[in-house]
Amino acid sequence: MLNRIFGLETEYGLLVHQDRPEHSPTWFAHKLRDHIFNVQRRGVLDLHHRGHDEPPGNGGFLANAGRIYLDMGHVEYASPECNSLTDVVASDRAGDRMLQQAINDLGWADQVSLIKNNIDHETDATFGSHENFLVTRRFPFSRRGLAPLVTFLITRQIFTGSGRVGSANPQDAWVQMDRLIVPRAALGHGGGGAQVPFQISQRADHIMNDFFEWVQQNRAIVNTRDEPLADPEQYRRIHLLLGDSNMAEYATALKLGTTGLVLQLIEEGHAPRGLDIREPVETLQEISQDQERQWVVRLESGETISAIDLQERFLAAAQAHCAGQDEETDWVLAQWEAVLQDLRGDYAGLVGRVDWASKLWLLESYREAERVQWDDPMLKSLDLEYHNLNRDKSLYDGLVEEGRVPRLTTDKAIDLAADHAPKNTRAFGRGELVKHLLACGSPSELIEPKTDERLFPAYVINWSIFQVRGRMPFPMTDPFKTYVQEIRSHLAG
Amino acid sequence: MKYSTMPERREGPGDPMPKPGPTEEGGGPRRPETGSPEKDNLLKRMKKVDPKQAERYRQRTGE
């Protein structure tokens, strides 16, 4: 779609179903990784230091050219580079499936659950769902150039949010106000007040800045780290960390598709202007926590406008400039319009397509049946269960089983995406490399150096380059190229 | 620029994104009637959830 490369990185939570577990979630995460690489042989573990927190063996590339690794104690899956929404949805679900299959193989299905969410209600910990979009180096990556993107991102949560019970502890939260970082509790309104029963976004409470380059603290609406993982003279990677992990395939596709179109509008100079939001971070949180779902936004111009109206401005620009360019674009435009129209009505009409709506509908059904209040702790447990990767337990999959969720991929396509890389990006070549290395021998045979080759590991693989021991480095700086014939020749030579 | 397609990933030729069927037009599921089988199934699934699991879910901040 859109001559664009997409990728998703997902950190999973790990729930141990025991009162006094013998092992920590991190212990289980290590065992899961080892099982995936050493027993299931889905990929090859890194043999080199990728960074200070990524020692050899911490993770590795998969046969589908994505990665599984441990990050801050979490299992994380990065999809391969995808050139279509179809592929990125299938590749994202493939990560879910690989991890759940590992749990099943280990006989842990009753003991451990992987939760594809972004928050811990009790500790206020947060963990990410990061989106990657490749743009040209000509993209106007300045505060002014990015202003339309900020407005779009703040308001897209009305159809991309996964929803949550309650809010992060406001006493611990800091927020950007007028270019200053201040305690949210000091504001005396918005997120600084009492706990809200339910809000539409998981991550909004944890975003502190409009622009910043770090990811672990001071998370920003737009992450400004310049790490293209490609030729830096041709490309820039837009790395977003404000979004929620989506269970609905439809929401994943719409999130990436609409954002891709807005990036295209900015690149081509067609993005709507004059829609800068006054106090972007505070507005992000106010929209998420608005119990009336009016989602009113104040612009720098002083005008007030609803988030739906703002989204319709972006939709109109995309319809005018992008319609007809390919099938996926037209799908995105049609569904974007339909969702915005439906958001003006009863939220129950969005169940199955918009995660927060599905979750709220389930929670309201439970509250009605069991006559419980919003402060009942069971609701937080139900919130988690919506995101369980175990299909026998997941509340999202309960909706799927009832035929109430539109699918955008198939189980067969997901299985293919677990074993094979997309064939129209750099991932194809990397997938061939990983399969070649897997065919070379067992993990121990791969790792054990020959006596005269102890100074260099058997292989080093990164997103944009690899080297196999005894051969020259092989750069892959263009994510749109498959490099597959060159890599086959390189490995055979 | 033109790039190769991935026919083996696509179930239907020329239609990579299945369009919503007539029953899904303009929205998600119908709101189930109280006491309908589908709502009963979902409520059964919800009632099986461990009420303490949110307490047991102790995660570190990631990224």
What are A314-353's pLDDT values in tens digits? Answer: 999 999 999 999 999 999 999 999 999 999 999 999 999 9
pLDDT, residue A178, reads: 62
Pairing relation of β-strands A67-71 and A74-78? Answer: antiparallel
- CA dihedral (A454, A460, A465, A471) in degrees, to 10, reads 40
Neighbour-count burial for A33-61, b at 16+ CB within 10 Å, e otherwise: bebbbeeeebbbbbbeebeeeeeebbbbb
User: What six digits make up the tokens of A216?
Assistant: 């672990």
* Average of per-residue pLDDT values in chain A: 92
Residue A56, CA distances (Å) to A45, A147, A151 in order? 8, 40, 41
* List of chain B residues whose C-beta atoms are within 8 Å of the C-beta of residue A399: 29, 42
Cβ-defined contact of B28 to A349 (cutoff 8 Å): yes
pLDDT for residue A174 is more than 80: no
The burial of A451, by beta-carbon neighbours within 10 Å (0-12 exposed, 13-18 middle, 19 or more buried), is given as exposed
* List of chain B residues whose C-beta atoms are within 8 Å of the C-beta of residue A122: 54-55, 57-58
Secondary element (H or E) of residue A12: strand A6-16
pLDDT in tens, A4-44: 999 999 999 999 999 888 999 999 999 999 999 999 999 99
* List of chain A residues whose C-beta atoms are within 8 Å of the C-beta of residue B53: 15, 17, 381, 384-385
pLDDT, residue A52, reads: 78
| Alpha helix segments (H runs only) across A135-243 | 143-160
Output DSSP code: residue A15: E
pLDDT, residue B35, reads: 55
Nearest Cα to Cα of residue A389 among A7, A6, A15: A15
Cβ-defined contact of B59 to A354 (cutoff 8 Å): no
Are B57 and A120 contacting, i.e. CB atoms less than 8 angstroms apart? yes
Hey, is A219 helix, strand or coil? coil
pLDDT for residue A250 is more than 80: yes
pLDDT, residue A72, reads: 87
CA distance A356 to A157: 9
Shortest distance, CA B50 to any CA of chain A (angstroms)? 7
pLDDT for residue B12 is more than 60: no
A402: left (phi over 0), alpha (psi -120 to 50) or beta: alpha
Amino acid, res. A300 = E
**Using 50, 70 and 90 to split pLDDT, how confident is the model at A359?**
very high
Rg (CA), chain B: 21
CA distance B31 to A351: 9
Instruction: ipTM value, please give it.
Output: 0.88
The yes-or-no answer on residue A71 being catalytic is yes
pLDDT in tens, A124-172: 889 989 999 999 999 999 999 999 999 999 999 999 999 999 998 755 5
DSSP structure string for A304-329:
EEEHHHHHHHHHHHHHHHHTTS-HHH
pLDDT, residue A224, reads: 85
pLDDT for residue B31 is more than 50: no
Put the strands of the sheet holding A459-462 in their side by side order: A459-462, A465-468, A474-475
Return the higher-pLDDT residue of A112 and B2: A112
Average pLDDT (B33-37) is: 57
**Using 50, 70 and 90 to split pLDDT, how confident is the model at A418?**
very high
CA distance A249 to A22: 35
